[in-house]
Structure 1
């Protein structure tokens, strides 16, 4: 058979059309076809818009990144394969051997592992400080401190960082501040507008919102800082797949609606849990009994977000009874889904900490973190009531043996 330009193995140009698709097209191409070497030079040197190789960027990345940049007031935000890739990229972009990091001591468990285990191995020293104590945070800054990392609302304890004091201390000492804004989202707090240098998101969570995407994002206040993060991401191969970016953009379209409903449900759930026998404490920033309530109001106004944590009286046995009884509330290592999910930090996200270290920040064996979804509250509230009643109140049982080194951390 004679081959010609119509051979099925030849690449075809997109069909011409006077119209354009209403939805963003999915672009899974690995590479992009340039007409000549000069055109490729123009793209790499910034003289022309375009794409080259999928690891260096693709259309679905750009569409999603531009929307997140707008939400956070960022310059040239970078998308990556996960939230932890985003945290790691900031470390790689800023730090070198001999540098020092100050970070909140109540962070997501895998972030703590990165700080406690991986950075020291690379010659970077770390100080973990209570981020609710701005004076202590400032006092931990050294001449060699290059970076600070905080979560506005800590995962999973929901303590609220003293952001004004931390921002002022970092600014006065020339320390770059990175803020993990996953729990708060741009709806409650915009770190770059307040003076932070980097904002980090696990887009996997409420931004994408359907538990079918794994993505991270870093936005920067300065274009040169964003470019440095981009170069790190491309060189270390942290780039996300087009399909995940496409799914996340689709999810982002309903972000405001989902946030409003989940937050209203979270406020109602926190109030209901606080009235239940067997619940020792409820943590929700918008409640007056939250230890950082006044600070939360100053930072986020009257909004409390979509996360609720609470402590059951008793230990692991009570928590297990609660989780088994909550059969329609998935016990799953994620958050930010449209459906309500439960987490037990002592056995998942913070299993790498010793029992004593967990207890010191309030993570008991009876501690439950709730990512509140958008269901009808008439479904959610009775399910929690029934599960708490089924768990019962008990004296604390013996702590389980410490988790083996290298155990997995969940979100």
Structure 2
């Protein structure tokens, strides 16, 4: 039967072509049509590949996930709507009431909130311990412990976890080890090669790299665990935008170049800041005065990454003066942009903690975290020197 053109409101696929696009097309379609109910059954049962409804997956998300899979030496990862969506899907997709989780005590602020406030409401108990001390992590494990969550390099004090020790503890005790690899990225470190069971990324940050994307990614070594993470993400609507996935894929094309330049700038800026008046301390993993420098070099080699932190003398007043004087540097609670960004954890990522809790972690009112970007290094150092001078009043 010839199709009646009066009913063809939607186009019938793409025009035929003997060539193909060099750039992945953006595919924003929410729904995908199938020939018959039997054909749809074949898709849902995994006998043929295909898309049905974008909440369950779409081409742009899968293209991006496969790119990150390759970087991490993984397969089957899932892209979600944010980094915290990835953290949440891993935890709530794999845990149940009565389970216990051990977390590093210097996780990202919202991860800490999830651990200390939200999971307990759901009957999942939590304990925070020092990830630089594998024995402290081991002592926090209980018979009902199901998972350990750490960041290899912590946010925002850049402490380096004893990953070898923690991985051994996790293996010995039959506990899943989850590593948030956002700060280090697979350019510097691949957690699966060091005993991790699950890897998480906030793709929003360094991987996408331009502050115009909000995405997350999670992948498990075990396919059954990955299916549980995926099912939870789909059920709760943690869908990634096709356009954001397309932007992130584009960002990955320059990722290695961006990472290397930002990393070199960070090492240079850290050394420069350490010699400025008014700067109490500087934290960068490869500096000899970093408390975990030996471990950082053993784990990361010469990869110090692009994040650094420093503390000013003078507390909040000095912090206000520094931020105001650092013209051209975005004062913003983010990281991984092409430009350098300045973050004040006490007023942003860790504001939910008490002042005593922040001080216990080494986060005072004069403490800043810096995501170093791609600027000319000499100009960047000059700007920070000017701001440090202004912070002294």
**Length-normalised TM-score, structure 1:** 0.94
Kept in 2, the 8 Å contact 1:75–1:226? The answer is no
> Is residue 152–residue 179 contact of structure 1 (8 Å, CA) maintained in 2?
yes
Distance 1:138 1:73 in 2: 28
SS of aligned partner of 1:206 = coil
Bigger Cα displacement from structure 2, 114-123 vs 372-381: 372-381
Deviates more, 1:34-43 or 1:241-250: 34-43
> Does structure 2 conserve the Cα–Cα contact (< 8 Å) formed by 1:339 and 1:373?
yes
Q: For residues 307-318 of structure 1, what are the structure 2 equivalents within 5 Å?
A: 307-318=307-318
- Would you say 1:325 and 2:315 are equivalent positions? no
Question: By how many angstroms is 1:208 displaced?
Answer: 0.1
Aligned-pair CA distance for 1:12: 2.5
What displacement does 1:8 show?
6.1
Shift of 1:46: 1.2
Q: State the shift of 1:39 in Å.
A: 1.5
- Which residue number corresponds to residue 284 of structure 2? 284
Contact 1:72 1:219 in 2 (8 A): no
In structure 2, relative to structure 1, the CA distance for the partners of 1:194 and 1:6 (3 Å cut) is farther
SS in 2 for 1:147: strand
Q: Corresponding residue for 1:252?
A: 252
Counterparts of 1:80 and 1:146 in 2: how far apart (Å)?
23
Does the C-alpha gap of structure 1 residues 196 and 29 become closer, same or farther in structure 2, counting only changes over 3 Å? same
1:191 corresponding residue in structure 2: 191
2:346 aligned residue: 346
Structure 2 CA distance for aligned equivalents of residues 181 and 74 of structure 1: 13
Matched with 1:61 is 61
Separation (CA, whole Å) in 2 of partners of 1:66 and 1:328: 36
| Contact 1:346-1:364 within 8 A present in 2 as well | yes
Alignment of 1:11-410 (within 5 A): 11-392=11-392
More deviation, 140-149/33-42? 33-42
SS in 1 for 2:92: helix
CA distance, structure 2, for counterparts of residue 7 and residue 24 of structure 1: 30
Displacement of 1:5 in angstroms is 1.8
1:60-93: per-residue Cα shift (whole Å, max 9, x none)? 0110000111111222101110000000001112
Residue 37 of structure 1 deviates from its aligned partner by 1.5
* Aligned alpha-carbon RMSD (Å): 1.1
Q: Secondary structure at the match of 1:280?
A: strand
Query: Alignment partner of 1:369: what SS?
Result: strand
**In 1, Cα distance between the equivalents of 2:23 and 2:270?**
38
